Structure 1
Amino acid sequence: MEFDDAVLTRRSVHEYSDEPVDDDTIEAVFEQVRYSPSSFNLQPWEFLVLTEDGNRERLQEVAYGQEHVTDAPVAIAVLANTDPSTHGEAVAEDQLRKGYLPTEEAKENLLETFEGMAERDEETNRTWATNSTALAAMTLMHAARAQGLSTCPIGGFDPDALHDAFDIDEQYEPVMLVTMGHAAPNAEDTNSPRKFRRTVDDIVHREEFEPTAAELDDEPVTESYATQ
């Protein structure tokens, strides 16, 4: 699937078919996810992928009983590692080997930067980790769509219950849940008109910032628009 198609046809789908998602397809999705950008290339993301019925049922309890958590054949907990130094050695050594860092001393200086970041206050590092991990979560949804799958990001869940249910260390901040699978043939989200999106003129501010209020145009919904 072309990137334009993946972006324009991605919907948040709540209704899934019974068709399973095989391990090779899941692997292909995450093979693309791992190329997501991150601050300092520290890649703070982790993904708990749940395909077993019992585990998705446990996750459904965490997500206040939302049905699509178990209706989808795959449910994913997106987690952010709040310790910036965790992968620092590998990241710095890679940059030294590839010439991005000129000397061993430069590598040590970079590692000191990572250690300094790790010593920041908890809220700062939570925000840092969440920002980068959210980029990977969006890659996940586009990569899944490129494989012909549908997804739905879920913000409504109890993060403390998620930690408890799956024995996740407090170092990892739950960012969101994502359901993934093949959309049901009658899935409302894929067959209904695309919901309102603000225009480029609304969201882009050139050279200076001036907030704008969204306005709907008067164009009727057409069949071609509804299927975009």
Structure 2
Amino acid sequence: MTSRRSPGRVALVTGGSRGIGADVATALAGAGHQVAIAYVRNQAAADQVAAATGCLALRADITEPTGVEALFGDVRAHFGSDVQILVNCAGLLADALVGEMTADQWRDVLDVNLTAPFLCGSRAAAGMAAARWGRIVNIGSAAGVLGSMGQANYAAAKAGLIGLTRSLARELAPTTTCNLVMPGPVDTGMIAHLSGKRRRQLADMIPCKRFGTVAEVAAAVAFLCSEEAAFITGAVLPVDGGMSMGH
């Protein structure tokens, strides 16, 4: 089969300064796209990704409509085009058992993991509809279908993200696709705090008996952003070594 290489599109990756987001930005830039990454605090890491990939690094608060509007305006001003590919990678953990979780912990995690994809997705949709082409990919988590002890806020946000993805897929078809990539445990900084014993326990829960890599997740995202994925929308694609089979 002949691959249909996409013309260079304008892509925005939130949370693109580290972890999965950084590898997604690298993969999209390697596919010929013009890529902007959004970050909140770690400018040094964002600048490093930008220097290595040729991406544009932009600081933005994507949990507020004004921050999202400014971010999309900056992308258009720099590239001369609206965002055509949106990948929502930004994530936040604030773990606690439900009985000990504060309202702020709940709210902060929902804001970053669910409200921000809603705001960015709704802002991107108009430009994609006008261009009659668009790709939105949300980064979910196996916690969104399995639950996760001590992470009720995170699991609830990722479960909500599945509903948001499928609703957007219905609303934006046929010109724009919206899909969700659902990683299991991935060897990133978000799990670096786990003890060796806990890491082994998690690995044993995965049929493939190992954690995933950011490159494996980024490859799935890059495919869903490609021309070849035009007939895939509303999908929840597990990249979890079989962890969520049956759910």
TM-score (norm 1): 0.29
TM-score (norm 2): 0.27
- Higher relative CO (CA 8 A, sep ≥ 6), structure 1 or 2? 1
